[in-house]
Chains A and B, each alone.
Chain A
Amino acid sequence: MKYTGAQLVVRLLEQQGITTVAGIPGGAALPLYDALAERGSIRHVLARHEQGAGFIAQGMARASGKAAVCIASSGPGATNLVTAIADAKLDSIPLVCITGQVPLSMIGTDAFQEVDTYGISIPVTKHNYLVRNVADLLQVIPEAFRLAESGRPGPVWIDIPKDVQMASIEIDALPEPGRPDTAPCVDMDELRRAAELINAAKTPVLYLGGGIVTAGASAQAVMLAEQAGLPTTMTLMALGTMQSDHPLSLGMLGMHGARFTNYILEESDLLIVLGARFDDRAIGKAEQFCPKAAIVHVDIDAAELGKIKRPHVGIHGDVSQVLDRLLPLIQVQLRKQWLSRVSDLRSRHPLLMPGLENPRSHYGLIDAVASALDPLQADDAIITTDVGQHQMWVAQAYPFSRPRQWLTSGGLGTMGFGMPAALGAAIAEPDRTVICFSGDGSFMMNIQELATMADENANVKIILMNNQSLGMVHQQQDMFYKRRLFAVDYQRRSDFVKIAQGFGIEACDLDTAENPRAMLADALNRRGPCLIHCSIDIEAKVLPIVPPGASNTEMIGG
C-alpha cells in the first residue's frame, strides 16, 4: 500500500482506537488535516484556542484512562499547547500531541511560524519526537502511544514537518498498534516486609494518590483499608478512590485538608503511601510531616521512591498488582483503640462548612448541586474544576463516590482547565452529566471554548462561582500580606449570563432566582450545555489553610 505521511498518521491513529481528536488546523498541519478529511474516520473537535484543544484531549484521557490526541499547527499553535501538555505531565495523564512543523529544509531558518517545538517540549513531556523521515512514523506513532500509557503515564509530543506529512511511502502492512508495557515484577521480600510493618503498626494511616486511579486499584485499596482497619486519606488527585462517606475516609490531606485529617496523620506510626509522590501541597514542610511514622511507599515510578521522603520499605510496581499480592498477607484488624482515637479527633476538629444550608454561598452551592442531581445519576456525574478557591471547596465538600469522577488540575494548577476538560469528558462519556465548577478568574482564561461546547452540544453544566476577583490570591494577600489587596479585584462586572448566551449556551442566574434549588435542579437535569451563575462573597476563605512553608499541623482557621 502507498501512503503519504499524513495518511499514514491517520491510519495509525485509527489502529490505536482513536475516534475523536481535538485541535486547530494551520499551514504546517494542512496535509494532516486533508488526510483526516479524506479518510473521514476520525471526528475532529475544532477548539477555539490550542490550549483548549489540549484540555479537551485531557478531559477525554482523564475520563477514559486511555491516551487522547490533540493536534495543532507549527509556531503559535505549538506554543499555545504547551500549558495543557505541561499540565498533563504534572498529573501523569496519557496524551499524544501532534504538531505540524515547517518543512525539514526550512528548519533553522526562522521560517514563518517556525519555533523549536522539539526543544520547547522536552521539559513538559514524557518523551518527544521530531520526525525526520516518513518511514519513522511507522515506529514513532505506535511507540508514542506505548510510552504515553506505560508505567507512569504522561504526554508524548510528535512534531512532523510538512514535507514529511506529504512524502509518500510504500509498505506491505501497517505496524502493530502500540500497547502499554507490562509492569515490573514485584519484589516479594519487600512485600513481606511491608505486610509485617502493616500488621505490627499501632496507628497506621493509608495515604492514596492519583496512581490508584491510574492503576484502577481503588477496589483493592479500599479492601486493604477495611481488612487492616486503616484510616485513609487521599491526595487531591485521588479523591473518589474511597467513597467520601466511607467510615474510614479522612478526606483530603494537606494545605486545605480538614484539621482532624492532618492531626491524625501527625499521630501515625506507619504511613502506607500508594501511588502518591509527597507533593508539597499534600505534606507541607517535608521534614515535619508525620514525624513518628515509618513509611511504606509503592509507586510505578522508581524515581519517586526516596525523592522527598526515604521509605522504610519502597516497592517499585503497579499498585494494583502489588495490592493483589499484599492483601493475602494482611491480618484482619479491628484497631478499636486507634480508630476510636481517630473518631475522637474527627469530632473535635471537624471540617467546618459555614453556610451549608444556603445554596447561594460557596459550600451551600456545592452541596445544593450534589443534592439537585437525580439520585440515580449522581454517582455517574463527572465533576471538573478550574483552579482556586472553588476547586478547594469542591475538593473538601463534594460527595465523591468513584474514581475518575473527579477531574482537576493538581500538579500544575492551571486556571482555564475546567471547562474544556469538562467538554472532553462529555465527549468521552456522552451518557454522563458533566459538572464544571469554575470561578470567574479561571473561567475567563479559556472562555472561548464555550463556542466549542455549543458546537458539540455537550452535556456540561458550568457552575460559575463569581466573586469578581482572583479569590485565592485575594485570600492570600488578605491573610499573609497584611490585606494589601493588589491586582486581584476585577473593576467591572462581566455579564456571564449574556456572554454564555452570546455563544449559544443556555444560562441562568441564581442571584435573581426565586427558588435557586428549583432552578439548579431544572438546569442540571435537562440535557445539553448550560451555565449557572452565582455570586459568592469575596471574603469567603478556604479554611483551614497551612501557610506556605509551614508544617501541616500549623493550620489557620477551620
Chain B
Amino acid sequence: MNMRDSNINRKLNPEQSGKAVLELTVRNHPGVMSHVCGLFARRAFNVEGILCMPVGDGAQSRIWLLVREDERLPQMMSQAGKLEDVLSVARHGADHRVFEKLEEFFG
C-alpha cells in the first residue's frame, strides 16, 4: 500500500480527520525552535499553533504544536523524533486543552 492509498482510506473516514496536538520535549537552547519549525516548513506541513516554554530548571523546554491531522502526520513525528535536540514526541487528540485555554488571548 502506498501513501496515496492510505489517503483515500482517510478521506472515507471523516471521524479521523481534523486536528491533533503534538507535545515535544526538547533541549532548551537558542536554535531549537528553528530546528522544529524549519522541519515542518520544509516538509510543507502546516503548523497552526505553536507554544514553547522552559520546564523545570530550564535545561529543557516543551513545545506544543497544533497541527492538522493527515496521513503524513506519523512521518512528521518520525522526522521530528530524529532531531538531536528533540527528546520525545507525543501525540494528543484535538480535544487537548492547551490551545483551548489560550483562546481568550486571541479574541
Contacts and interface: CB of A to CB of B under 8 A. Distances in A.
Interface in B61-101: 74-75, 78-79, 81-84
A308 interface: yes
B13 interface: no
A122 B38 contact: yes
A303 interface: yes
10 closest A-B pairs by beta carbon, nearest first, are A303-B78, A127-B84, A310-B1, A287-B4, A309-B2, A122-B38, A303-B79, A286-B2, A287-B2, A123-B42
B6 A302 contact: no
Contact of A303 (B5, B82, B84): B82
Interface in A114-148: 118-119, 122-123, 126-127, 130, 147
Interface string B1-19: 1111110000000000000
B82 A310 contact: no
Interface in A35-84: none
A307 interface: yes
A306 interface: yes
9 contacts: A118-B34, A122-B31, A130-B31, A287-B2, A287-B4, A289-B2, A303-B78, A303-B81, A310-B1
A310 B9 CA distance: 14
A289 B3 CA distance: 12
B2 A123 contact: no
Interface secondary structure of B, over-half rule:
helix
Interface in A306-331: 306-310
A506 to B, nearest CB: 45
Nearest to B76: A303
A149 B82 CA distance: 15
A286 B82 CA distance: 24
A310 B8 CA distance: 14
A123 B38 contact: yes
A310 B79 contact: no
Q: Which of B4, B30, B75 has the most CB of A within 10 A?
A: B75
B103 to A, nearest CB: 31
A307 B5 CA distance: 13
Contacts of B35: 122
A307 B75 contact: yes
B87 to A, nearest CB: 14
A118 B33 CA distance: 12
Given A118-B31, A127-B84, A301-B82, A306 B38 contact: no
A122 B35 CA distance: 7
Q: Which of B2, B30, B82 has the most CB of A within 10 A?
A: B2
Contact of B3 (A123, A301, A310): A310
Contacts of A123: 38, 42
A302 B78 contact: yes
